[in-house]
Chain A
Amino acid sequence: MTSLSDILTDLVSDVDGVFLFSPNGSFHERFDGIENVVVVGAENTVEADTFVELPIQFADVTDRIRFGIEGAMDDGLVGEGDVLACIGSLFSDDADFTSRVRVDESMRSGIYDLFTNSRADPTVISDVFEVALELGRKGQKGKPVGALFVVGDAGKVMNKSRPLSYNPFEKSHVHVGDPIVNVMLKEFSRLDGAFVISDSGKIVSAYRYLEPSAEGVDIPKGLGARHMAGGAITRDTNATAIVLSESDGLVRAFKGGKLILELDPEEY
């Protein structure tokens, strides 16, 4: 006769570490005596010693767990073969699920890498993600719209592209992340071409026609010219491309010529 708590005990027995996803203070304190506790969240509110920052609040729990584990792997907190117990909140604000995860090198999808090891600041990339997600959710005046943001390594990107028309952001000092700038970006998204954003988040140009060589770019078939241009520029430069598709409304991120992350704006 096994009781429910036995099953739960099996789930968390012999784990090498515990991952807490956005715990609140009192809940985190209960883990004081346990070793290898890693806190994953948007902010280190509980002042934990080991912390992995989530740049965007992944709606998909698997993405969230993957991102946390990938971050911990990069920081050398966990290694391949470790078994982890992940505790987080799914429906309410309190912890309400436990999951047993085995760390595997194949979990390395590059999502963590995309944010932390890109040329651009992690905050800049997550700000651009937010703009793209909101644009995908609401569209431009209700109509679905596409957009292409090239973030980081702006000098090189500018040299591998040419203007389609006058640059509306010339001699302006606007940075992504300002609420008013996000509105501007949305308005300008009806322009054709790419937005070029510098490492520190300055919007360098809109209306750019990217001219990378598309050789050896590995992106799924069926994606359009915008994705191809975005993917290819990241292979030629150290930039990250964040693309909002006009046809299927998904936000995709490319780095090093590869598709790294795919998000559905409707879920955020």
Chain B
Amino acid sequence: MHGPLQFSVDEFFGTISPRIWLAVFIFTIGMLLAYGVMGVTSRLLERMGVVETIEGTSFERTTNEFGTSTARIITQLSGVFTILLATFVAITVADLQFVGLFWSSVAIFLPQLFIAIVILVVGVVVADKVELLVSERLRGVKLPEIGLIPLLAKYSVLFVAILIALSQIGVAVLALIVLLGAYALALIVFTALATQDLLASGTAGVYLLLNQPYSIGDEVKVGGQRGIVQEVDLLVTRIETDGEEHIIPNRTVLKDGIVRIQQ
């Protein structure tokens, strides 16, 4: 009664080569390893304070809406990657010729894709965080246009992240890099142009504050204006005559020189 069934099972197992068994074994190990990797990753993320740092960014909020979190996404990614790696090793061991060609190219592509995704996620989170920090800094400035600056900072970070991610998976990004270069150059040139007066006044102000060639209450003449010094700060010197207050940038003070009127 049991004979034929026993035989068929034996035969069934017999036809499967030991290689397949090994492959299944490796795959199982891979699954367990993936579980371990996920645990280690999530604990590592928590230990490094990543979870608290990214709290409140809009990416984190979006992931929360889908009932997950950034940390969990990264953990899951690492788990999936480990499983895929195990699958690949298992298939290699099983020596399945017909898929070998396909998988060998996937094997090279996979880690790159994994790194690209991680870079993208990190980029999005960092971009959100940068936006948050910059807008926090600019909160005191009550200008509607000021909202543009945090957005600009956010998209700059995002752009760089996408660039790195794309180059990681081998997409031609030369044109985009040129664009980035032009953008960075424009940014530097414009900042330099916009702040050159402030920078010059600031450095002159440091000298004036440290050495105090003139102090509050002195009567001085700067650039044709004569009056009593009321205030010296980093950027400007305030000089007052009867009913008139002259606010003179410190670079003018240093450039034109100052006449102190002896009493």
**Contact surface of A with B, Cβ cutoff 8 Å:** 153-159, 170-171, 173, 198-200, 202, 204
A158 contacts B209, CB within 8 Å? no
Name A204's contact: one of B209, B216, B240 (CB within 8 Å).
Answer: B216
The listed residue (B209, B212, B228, B233) touching A155 by CB distance below 8 A is B228
- B213 CB to closest chain A CB (Å) equals 11
Chain A residues whose C-beta falls within 8 Å of the C-beta of B209 in the assembled complex? 173
Cα A97 to Cα B219 in complex, Å, equals 54
Complex contact A202–B216 (CB within 8 A):
yes
Known interface pairs A155-B240, A173-B209; A204-B228 also in contact (CB < 8 Å): no
Given A154-B231, A173-B209, the answer on whether A159 and B216 have CB atoms closer than 8 Å is: no
In the assembled complex, the Cα of A155 lies from the Cα of B229 at a distance in Å of 6
For residue A119, which residue of chain B has the nearest CB? B230
Interface residue from B217, B218, B228, B231 paired with A199 (Cβ < 8 Å): B231
The verdict on B69 contacting chain A, using a C-beta distance below 8 Å, is no
Contacts of A159 in B (CB 8 A): 217, 219, 228
> Which B residues are CB-close (under 8 A) to A199?
230-231
**CB <8 Å contact, B229 and A200:** no
- Residues of B within 8 Å of A158, CB to CB, are 216-217
Give B192-245 interface residues, CB cut-off 8 Å to A: 209, 212, 215-219, 228-231, 233, 240
Nearest A residue to B210 via CB reads: A171
- Please tell me if the beta carbons of A153 and B212 are within 8 angstroms of each other in the complex: no
Alpha-carbon gap, A136 to B140, bound state (A): 35
Q: List residues of chain A with CB within 8 A of the CB of B233.
A: 200
- A204-B216, A204-B217 known; A156 and B231 CB under 8 Å? no
In the assembly, what is the distance between CA of A75 and CA of B2, in Å?
Answer: 102
Q: A171 CA to B230 CA in the complex, in Å? A: 15
Question: Can you show 19 pairs from A to B with CB atoms below 8 A apart?
Answer: A154-B217, A154-B230, A155-B216, A155-B217, A155-B228, A155-B230, A155-B231, A156-B228, A156-B240, A158-B216, A170-B215, A173-B209, A198-B216, A198-B230, A200-B231, A202-B216, A202-B231, A204-B216, A204-B217
Most chain B CB atoms below 10 A, which of A155, A173, A200: A155
* Nearest opposing residue in chain A for B230, CB measure: A155
In the assembled complex, how far is the CB of residue B204 from the closest CB belonging to chain A, in whole angstroms? 16
Q: Interface centre among B216, B218, B228, B233, by most A CB within 10 Å?
A: B216
Tell me the nearest residue of chain A to B263, going by C-beta: A159
A170 contact set on B, CB distance < 8 A:
215
Q: How far is the CA of A171 from the CA of B209 in the complex (A)?
A: 8
Q: Count B interface residues, CB 8 Å.
A: 13
- Give chain B residues whose Cβ lies under 8 Å from the Cβ of A171: 212
> CA A153 – CA B245 in complex, angstroms?
11
Taking the nearest CB of chain B, how far is it from the CB of A122, in angstroms?
A: 16
Distance between B216 CB and nearest chain A CB, rounded to angstroms: 5
Which residues of A sit under 8 angstroms from B230, Cβ to Cβ?
A: 153-156, 198-199
Give bound CA distance, A200 to B238, whole Å.
11
- Least distance between A202 CB and chain B CB atoms (Å): 7
Q: Which residues of A contact B212 (CB under 8 A)?
A: 171
Once the chains bind, are A198 and B228 in contact (CB under 8 Å)? no
CA distance A213 to B230 in the complex (A): 21
* Contact for B215 among A157, A200, A204, CB less than 8 A: A204
Nearest 6 A-B pairs (CB), nearest first?
A158-B217, A155-B228, A155-B230, A204-B216, A154-B216, A155-B217
The distance from the CB of A238 to the nearest CB of chain B, in whole angstroms, is 10
Q: With A154-B216, A155-B230 given, can you name 20 additional A-B contacts, CB distance below 8 Å? A: A153-B230, A154-B231, A155-B217, A155-B218, A155-B228, A155-B231, A155-B240, A156-B240, A157-B217, A158-B217, A159-B217, A159-B228, A198-B216, A198-B230, A198-B231, A199-B230, A199-B231, A200-B233, A204-B215, A204-B217
Query: Which residues from A are CB-within-8-Å of B215?
Result: 170, 204
Instruction: Give A160's nearest chain B residue, CB to CB.
Output: B217
Closest Cβ of chain A to B139, distance in Å, is: 13
Report A239 CB to chain B, min CB distance, Å.
11
- Interchain nearest-CB distance for A114 vs B (Å): 20
**Chain B residues, Cβ within 8 Å of A157:** 217
> A152: shortest Cβ distance to chain B, in Å?
9
- Give A208's nearest chain B residue, CB to CB: B217
Cα of A138 to Cα of B182 in the assembled complex, Å: 63
Residues of A within 8 A of B219 (CB): 159
**Which residues of B have CB within 8 Å of A204?**
215-217
Q: Chain A contacts of B231 at CB under 8 A?
A: 154-155, 198-200, 202
Note all chain A residues with C-beta closer than 8 A to B218.
Answer: 155
A173 to B216, CA, bound (A): 12
A199–B230 Cα distance when bound, in Å, is 8
Specify which chain B residues have a CB less than 8 angstroms from the CB of A156 in the assembled complex. Answer: 228, 230, 240
Of listed B212, B217, B219, B231, residue having the most chain A CB within 10 A: B217
Closest to A161 in B: B217
